[in-house]
Amino acid sequence: MSILIKGGTVIGPTGAALQDVLIDGETIAALYQPGKAPQIDQTIDATGKYVIPGAVDAHTHMELPFGGTHASDTFDTGTRAAAIGGTTTIVDFAVQRYGEVVQDGLAAWHGKADGNCHIDYAFHMILGGVDDDSLKAMDQLVATEGISSFKLFMAYPGVFYSDDGQILRAMQKARDNGAMIMMHAENGPAIDVLVKQALERGETDPIHHGLTRPQELEAEATSRAIWLASVAADCPLYIVHLSASKALEQVKAARDLGRNVFAETCPQYLYLTLEDQLGAPGFEGAKWVCSTPLRSKHETHRADLWQGLRTNDLSVVSTDHCPFCFKDQKELGLGDFSKIPNGIGSVEHRVDLLYQGVVDKKLSLARWVETIATTPARMFGLYPRKGIIAPGSDADIVLYDPNGRTRISVETHHMNMDHSAWEGWEIDGRVDTVLARGEVIVANGEYSGRAGRGKYLKRGLSDYLL
Ligand code: DUC
Ligand code: ZN
Ligand code: ZN
């Protein structure tokens, strides 16, 4: 079936243009100057709207086991919420737990996702233990499973943590097989010392989660990861959820030297703070316990991160969507902040939250689309199938209404959470219509998709390998 999207302004990496978009079946057939397209029975009027590629969220954790519980969104609820918010592809993290066979962890993740996703999805693999077997598994995952990126943790000793020797071995393997190493860059053993000391002093409130994870320990780990990647013959390195100015300085210095180093940040670090959210009275701040943590509003983190997005020292905005309900989940940490499950849920709101950056003149329209769609697709081997409006690409398209308004609340969101990290926020812009592989799944804000329509995507290597 053919559909013509007429009268809209198509936004791509090179800017904005009035163009009509012809869709044939699941893919984009052609772009036309306004009025030059052939006559088609089904048209969608996009007058006054931006026509952007469906957004790609390269960092989600549906159903992640963490802190004695599980992230509260399933692949069903989480991908439905993503779709409603204009995200048409996620890359979730399959998990190899310590002592588990990598392929078994991957099979378990397929078991959670298969038949349940509303949008297309792919996986990175978390390596919970680097040894001879998991190194061999990396080759197989790259060659046959469409998984070309592996996350390692410098934090969480005893859970996901890898020591420097393990990290180096995984980086050497990635340098050989073309994969990307994604790094959770925080010095976990040092953080654990600070956490123990804080608890001994009776400091148990959520704000101490942030105070025991100072930016120096993010910057130190970021720098160490960069040097280890250098020793591994410039293995491609991607720093996840970068939150702090001093960590950004490390990435910028490496990139200025032409190093194969990339980083993402997340909406929470662009807008929320240690004092205003994590430091909310009583136990309320638990809603904003995530790692890396929210940073101080009295320092320059947020301004620096916006600037990093403009200069491409930060290439991508992902959510690190890892939702936990307040009741019974966040509450596990009542009286001990170190037992609060780490994570914030935002998969539904990233497109809107970053559009607010355009309204606030912190990002150009082109950079908005690049950081939420085009670059994540290129970074993780999904381009040009995803991330761009071009002939041959999947017809994943969002009609975005710049004159609309979005009000965020637990009363109206679709994520499986009993609170919102963004409660009461009213922002400019609104997702109006969403097409996923040529099917209209959101029209005028109303959802009409279904679980099981999303397909698993085998990814290629990153476009950005040196
Ligand atoms: N950070 C979080 O906030 N949640 C899950 C894992 C992580 O690294
Ligand atoms: Zn992480
Ligand atoms: Zn994460």
Residue 156 Cβ < 6 Å to ligand 1: no
Q: How confident is the model at residue 147 (pLDDT cuts 50, 70, 90)?
A: very high
Enter the tokens of residue 377.
């697709």
In this structure, are residues 79 and 449 in contact, taking their beta carbons and an 8 Å threshold?
no
Range list of H helices, 280-382: 301-311, 350-359, 365-369, 375-379
Residue 184 Cβ < 6 Å to ligand 1: yes
Q: How confident is the model at residue 41 (pLDDT cuts 50, 70, 90)?
A: confident
DSSP type of residue 401: E
Mean pLDDT of the 215-223 span: 98
Checking if the pLDDT of 19 tops 90, the result is yes
Ligand 2 midpoint to CA 292 (Å): 7
Q: Report which ligand 1 atom has the smallest distance to the Cα of 61.
A: 5
Q: Which pLDDT does position 150 carry in this prediction?
A: 98
**Which SS3 state, helix, strand or coil, does residue 291 take?**
coil
Q: Which pLDDT does position 156 carry in this prediction?
A: 95
Residue 151 Cβ < 6 Å to ligand 1: no
pLDDT digits (tens, 9 = 90+) for 86-98: 999 999 999 999 9
**Hey, which of 72, 242, 291 would you mutate to test ligand 1's pocket, going by the most ligand atoms within 8 Å of its Cβ?**
291
Ligand 3 midpoint to CA 32 (Å): 40
Q: Whose CA is nearest to atom 7 of ligand 1?
A: 291
Q: Which pLDDT does position 167 carry in this prediction?
A: 98
- 150-169 residues labelled b (16+ CB within 10 A) or e (exposed): bbbbbbbeeebbbeeebbbb
Mean pLDDT of the 208-225 span: 98
Checking if the pLDDT of 64 tops 90, the result is yes
In this structure, are residues 21 and 50 in contact, taking their beta carbons and an 8 Å threshold?
no
Q: Between residues 332 and 99, which one has the greater pLDDT?
A: 332
Checking if the pLDDT of 1 tops 90, the result is no
Ligand 2 midpoint to CA 167 (Å): 15
Residue with the two structure tokens 């990307």? 180
Q: How confident is the model at residue 14 (pLDDT cuts 50, 70, 90)?
A: confident
For residue 105, give the amino acid letter.
G
Q: How far is the CA of 362 from the CAs of 12, 253, 367, in angstroms?
A: 18, 22, 10
Question: What percent of the chain is modeled with pLDDT above 90?
Answer: 97
Mean pLDDT of the 413-438 span: 98
Ligand 3 midpoint to CA 435 (Å): 27
Checking if the pLDDT of 170 tops 90, the result is yes
Mean pLDDT of the 399-421 span: 98
Q: Which residues contact 312 (CB under 8 A, 6 or more apart)?
A: none
pLDDT digits (tens, 9 = 90+) for 103-118: 999 999 999 999 999 9
Residue 118 Cβ < 6 Å to ligand 1: no
Residue 294 Cβ < 6 Å to ligand 1: no
Q: Which pLDDT does position 172 carry in this prediction?
A: 98
Residue 213 Cβ < 6 Å to ligand 1: no
Residue 321 Cβ < 6 Å to ligand 1: no
Q: How confident is the model at residue 196 (pLDDT cuts 50, 70, 90)?
A: very high
Q: Which pLDDT does position 118 carry in this prediction?
A: 98
Q: Report which ligand 1 atom has the smallest distance to the Cα of 290.
A: 3
Mean pLDDT of the 9-35 span: 95
Question: What percent of the chain is modeled with pLDDT above 70?
Answer: 100
Checking if the pLDDT of 129 tops 90, the result is no
Ligand 3 midpoint to CA 316 (Å): 14
Q: Which pLDDT does position 444 carry in this prediction?
A: 85
Mean pLDDT of the 431-451 span: 96
Q: Which pLDDT does position 445 carry in this prediction?
A: 81
In this structure, are residues 185 and 217 in contact, taking their beta carbons and an 8 Å threshold?
no
DSSP result, 81-139: HHHHTTEEEEEEEEEE-TTS-HHHHHHHHHHHHTTT-SSEEEEEEEES--SHHHHHHHH
Residue 319 Cβ < 6 Å to ligand 1: no
Checking if the pLDDT of 466 tops 80, the result is no
Mean pLDDT of the chain: 97
Residue 341 Cβ < 6 Å to ligand 1: no
Angle among Cα 113, 118, 120 to the nearest 5 degrees reads 70
pTM: 0.98
pLDDT digits (tens, 9 = 90+) for 290-323: 999 999 999 999 999 999 999 999 999 999 999 9
Q: Which pLDDT does position 2 carry in this prediction?
A: 96
Torsion of CA 110, 115, 119, 121, to 10 degrees: 10
Residue 250 Cβ < 6 Å to ligand 1: no
Residue 59 Cβ < 6 Å to ligand 1: no
